Amino acid sequence: GQNIDQPTEMTATEGAIVQINCTYQTSGFNGLFWYQQHAGEAPTFLSYNVLDGLEEKGRFSSFLSRSKGYSYLLLKELQMKDSASYLCALGGATNKLIFGTGTLLAVQP
């Protein structure tokens, strides 16, 4: 099976940097996704890691370590509009995504 753990909630200040962690236990997967979901809206794709290391995309970066069963999403120069849930998901050979419970990020002025 696949267990995915994320902190339930986090709070950060506008302009700061925040790191959202995701740990997982799985027998195998193709890649790890991060999605952003604003309240009442659909998830939107942020990043994808298939190899170990850091993927940078503007203010957002994502890191994966397969040996440690660990990923994180790094958000820089936080803006109020970054207040949302951030979902970690594993993509497997079955063509399905398994989502974590998500981390609700509140950005304060």
Partner 1 sequence: EADIYQTPRYLVIGTGKKITLECSQTMGHDKMYWYQQDPGMELHLIHYSYGVNSTEKGDLSSESTVSRIRTEHFPLTLESARPSHTSQYLCASSEPGSRNEQFFGPGTRLTVL
Residues near partner 1 (CB under 8 A): 30-31, 33, 40-45, 48, 50, 87, 91, 93, 95-102, 104
Taking each continuous run of H as one helix and of E as one strand, the counts in the chain are 0, 11
Q: How far apart are CA 24 and CA 80, in angstroms?
A: 29
C-alpha to C-alpha distance for 106 and 82, rounded to whole angstroms: 8
User: Tell me, what DSSP letter sits at residue 41?
Assistant: S
Nearer to partner 1, 35 or 72 (CB): 35
Tokens at residue 98, please? 């398994």
Least Å from the CB of residue 15 to partner 1: 27
Residue bearing tokens 């890649």: 31
Copy the structure tokens of residue 17. 């940097």
Which one, 46 or 78, has the nearer CB to partner 1? 46
Report the nearest approach of partner 1 to the CB of residue 6 (Å): 9
* Residue 91 C-beta: closest distance to partner 1, Å: 5
Which of 39, 109 has the CB closer to partner 1?
Answer: 39
